[in-house]
Amino acid sequence: MEEGGSGRCPSESNTCRLSKLLFTAMRMQMLDIVAILNQAHDKQVTDVYKYLVMNGTFKQGLIQDGFFSEVMYLDALADIWSVFSLPGLPKMERLARAYKGVVYLHAVIGGRLYTQAALKSGVLGNTDEFLGVTMNNLWESLTNCCAFLKLHCSEDGTSWIRLDLVSKIFSNDVIESYFSVLVNRCGGYKSFVQHFNQVAKNVDTMIQIQLSPARRHKTKVGCVMSSSAAIPSPEAAG
């Protein structure tokens, strides 16, 4: 099938690529994906982006519509995130995903990863982005994966080392989510100390319960399961 399918765009701008994702999401009546693409969510909550980039059903729909480069891009983001944050992956799988993420970003974005804009932070006026992700964040994701691969490769490049290193130590997902909940509960960034102290105690308790391996809840199909897997061994956690 020719890339672009029935929703083919005349250019490859961010607006064009976003319209491709919206085209498929609306065709499949995936209203949750439509809401995420329209930014109707808290940008600090990483689970929202995880749901988008790791949604296999949505990616199959994109492939059916011929939007292959968009699927490669989502795969790259999903692989890079999973290298550092997805529990239970064997270390060799993390290494494979890091390599795949680097290759896919190069294939889809190419030289734009190494422009001056990629070295600027958002606060310095970085407007160069790819489907909502600023180029400097993509460049940092690329270099993080390269560093991860280098960290596990021997000096002569003939073998893998440090295979018992737990990759989760490089992620700050929990911190970002905690900060987002704290700000929302305080009603903004500039809260009075008395209000902040009261809210912080509630948020601390909520986060501890949320991350507890012993927590149980009922799913829609009536199964009782943990919301957070028990802390894995270094070998299982990667």
Task: For residue 108, give every residue at least 6 positions away whose Cβ sits within 8 Å of its Cβ, in sequence order, or none.
Answer: 69, 72, 73, 76, 130
Give me the tens of pLDDT residue by residue for the chain, a chain 238 residues long. Answer: 344 444 444 446 667 888 889 999 999 999 999 998 888 777 667 788 888 899 999 999 999 999 998 898 899 999 998 988 888 888 899 999 999 989 988 888 877 777 766 665 544 444 566 766 777 778 888 888 888 898 888 888 788 888 887 777 766 667 777 777 778 877 776 777 777 777 888 888 877 777 676 665 544 433 333 444 444 444 444 4
Cα→Cα distances 56→31, 59, 60, 74, 75, Å: 15, 5, 6, 10, 10
Looking at residue 85, what is its pLDDT? 82
Task: For residue 214, give every residue at least 6 positions away whose Cβ sits within 8 Å of its Cβ, in sequence order, or none.
Answer: 226
Looking at residue 66, what is its pLDDT? 92
Looking at residue 117, what is its pLDDT? 61
Looking at residue 58, what is its pLDDT? 95
> Domain ranges in the chain?
5-167, 172-238
